[in-house]
Amino acid sequence: MKKPGEFIREEVRNTPPSGIRKYFDMLSGLSDVISLGVGEPDFVTPWQIRESAIYSLEKGRTHYTSNTGLLELRQAVCNMLRKKYNLDYNPLNQIIITVGASEAIDIAIRSIAGPGDEVIIPEPCFVAYKGCVNFAGATAVPLQLKEENRFKLTVEQLKECVTKKTKALILAYPNNPTGAIMTKEELRPIADYLSTKDIVVISDEIYADLTYGTKHFSFAELENMHDKVIYVNGFSKSYSMTGWRLGYVCAHKDIVAEMLKIHQYAIMCAPSFVQYAAIDALEQCEADVERMRKQYDARRRYIYNGLIEIGIDCFLPEGAFYVFPNIKKTGLTSERFCDRLLMEHKVLAVPGTAFSSAGEGYFRATYASSLENIKEALKRMERFVNTL
């Protein structure tokens, strides 16, 4: 007879849990820890958005919405995408409102790739991509991004990974965990190459609003790839709405129609009162987005400069809200560095290896934390580095 765990599919069993789970246990015995470990804004959702959710509950808007989401919200998202990123999607048949960008990524991957198919994942990257590919029964093909390329994808590297089985490429800029961005000029050769191939690009642009310097350019804007891009975004990072779980996915109508089936059967629809609040977020909270972005920018400069001053090599991030310092010269592995930083100096950062083996020699620290916390964390890191 099988033991209960043996009923689980091999693809699920063979996928390791998130590499940082052990820190939950390590944290339990410690007090006064400064965590730069979370991938979410420290700001509470702007009051206007919270108030709007309360109002929609008060009004009894508690029913299912259409599977694709409230039309008013889809229209608001499409208007914003047109205005900000020059993207043209029809709210009637080219967008699905999802439960977080996470669901959008999952249904995109499951729609495109299955057993025997390959999905190219540039690494280091957000932890969920590989898991989703595994669960779909497809094969994740890692592509190691390099610091000397400022963690940008190059067409040469991409060509090396493409095979006849390649179904999709996951592109995630601005990037978690590296903070890298890609400009129009840098994306163009990727698009030119892929336009000659039968490969879909799943473009996770959840940090689109958080760039510092150059305005974000969407891969979906490149004409020759527009119909082959599955565009993913959401409310979590821009509007500080992580716990609300609201995202969206846009693509060619024939792709959306198919993805919708998975969403329909698995999820039904995103929570209705959250969708109502999101309309207000889009239509009235642009100033809040900018206010938070400016705060991140000041902290980004502060933490980057602080790291350099204490002798930790770091690449200047241009997007998202992470620094990804290089600790190779300390001679410690990422994990050992982060373990000791936590146990000896009570600062929690995430080892680069949590974001794939390509992250060895790096750690990720978020600057979505108060300046006070960042200052104290830098002091503690300095003490730590001086002992090495």
Position 23 contacts another protein (CB under 8 A): yes
Closer Cβ to another protein, 40 or 147, answer by number? 40
Is the distance from CB of 327 to CB of 334 less than 8 angstroms? yes
Binder of another protein out of 7, 24, 64, 265 (CB under 8 A): 24
Closer Cβ to another protein, 65 or 366, answer by number? 366
Position 20 contacts another protein (CB under 8 A): yes
Closer Cβ to another protein, 38 or 266, answer by number? 38
Closer Cβ to another protein, 44 or 268, answer by number? 44
Task: Quickly tell me which residue has 């350099």 as its tokens.
Answer: 308
Is the distance from CB of 255 to CB of 89 less than 8 angstroms? no
Q: DSSP letters along 166-190, please? A: EEEEEE-SS-TTT-----HHHHHHH
Closer Cβ to another protein, 212 or 231, answer by number? 212
- At closest approach, how far in Å is the CB of 95 from another protein? 27
3-state secondary structure of 42: coil
Position 305 contacts another protein (CB under 8 A): yes
Sign of CA dihedral 58, 59, 63, 68: negative
Burial of 7 (0-12, 13-18, 19+ CB in 10 A): exposed
3-state secondary structure of 143: strand
CA–CA distance, 235 with 217 (Å, rounded to integer): 18
3-state secondary structure of 326: strand
Binder of another protein out of 197, 294, 329, 336 (CB under 8 A): 294
Binder of another protein out of 81, 105, 127, 274 (CB under 8 A): 127
Task: Quickly tell me which residue has 């936590």 as its tokens.
Answer: 342
CA–CA distance, 96 with 89 (Å, rounded to integer): 11
- At closest approach, how far in Å is the CB of 284 from another protein? 20
How many C-beta atoms surround the C-beta of residue 146 within 10 A?
12
Instruction: Lay out the site mask for another protein across 26-55 (x = CB under 8 A, - = otherwise).
Output: -x-----x-x-xxxx-x-x-----------
Position 301 contacts another protein (CB under 8 A): yes
Compute the C-alpha angle 328/212/181, nearest 5°: 55
Closer Cβ to another protein, 294 or 336, answer by number? 294
Interface segment toward another protein; rule CB under 8 A; list 7-15, 113-121, 162-170, 297-305: 297-305
- At closest approach, how far in Å is the CB of 37 from another protein? 4
Closer Cβ to another protein, 107 or 342, answer by number? 342
Instruction: Lay out the site mask for another protein across 342-361 (x = CB under 8 A, - = otherwise).
Output: ------x-x---x-------
Which residue in 332, 344, 351 sits closest to 380, CA to CA?
A: 344
Position 371 contacts another protein (CB under 8 A): yes
Closer Cβ to another protein, 33 or 141, answer by number? 33
Which residue in 207, 203, 170 sits closest to 300, CA to CA?
A: 207
Torsion angle of C-alpha atoms 59, 65, 71, 75, degrees rounded to 10: 80
> Given the rule CB under 8 A, which residues bind another protein?
18-21, 23-24, 27, 33, 35, 37-40, 42, 44, 127, 294-295, 297-299, 301-302, 305-306, 348, 350, 354, 371
